[in-house]
Amino acid sequence: MHARESPVNQTARQARCASCTLAINSSFITGVVSPRGISLSGNSIFVGSFTGNSIGVYDATTGSAINSSLITGLNAPCGIAIFGNDLFVSNEGSNTIGEYDTTSGAAINSSLITGLSTPRGIAVSGNSLFVANGSGNSIGEYDRTTGLAINSSLITGLSSPYSVVVTPVPEPSTFAMAFAGLAFGGYRLFRSRKWA
């Protein structure tokens, strides 16, 4: 005999399932040819067009094009990462990572990193740029400003990696300030109870 699901649980489960499959706006951004790579910065969404060899920028609220050809002349752009005003693009066709200005689209260094093996996904953390090398079956770490390899085979033995995500780690000073705040709060609580 199977236990019956209560009507409350059944309704909650159905609501969760409905919210998981409901498309908010399935055609939010249109007109991008073979979209690959997406990155959000402020109120702007940057989207790569793999076969259109370009990066466009769109309004994150409305989806309307701000500049659908912000960066052109790329070679099969696949991954996008943003750090401050710098936009990094993996060019799968030329095995390079390029660096561009997010506002003007001007090239800062269109061949910041060269000699890669089908670069796809990229991520930035601090001064490091992480690159998923699809044909190299690895993730490499490179200096964000110079493009020099820190460890081009940081993670190996993968099977055609397509993307990479890096979670930022708080700076040591953040931990120090948090600890100081907790210590001060604990001291104040101790003093208030001791004399009360």
Q: Which residues of 141-159 are buried (b: 16+ CB within 10 A; e: fewer)?
A: bbebeebeeeebebbeeee
Q: How far apart are CA 95 and CA 77, in angstroms?
A: 10
pTM: 0.75
Tell me the pLDDT tens digit for each residue of 77-109: 999 999 999 999 999 999 999 999 999 999 999
User: What Rg value do the Cα atoms of the chain yield, rounded?
Assistant: 23
Tell me the pLDDT tens digit for each residue of 5-57: 555 444 445 555 555 555 677 788 888 888 889 999 999 999 999 999 999 99
Q: How far apart are CA 122 and CA 36, in angstroms?
A: 12
Q: How far apart are CA 44 and CA 84, in angstroms?
A: 13
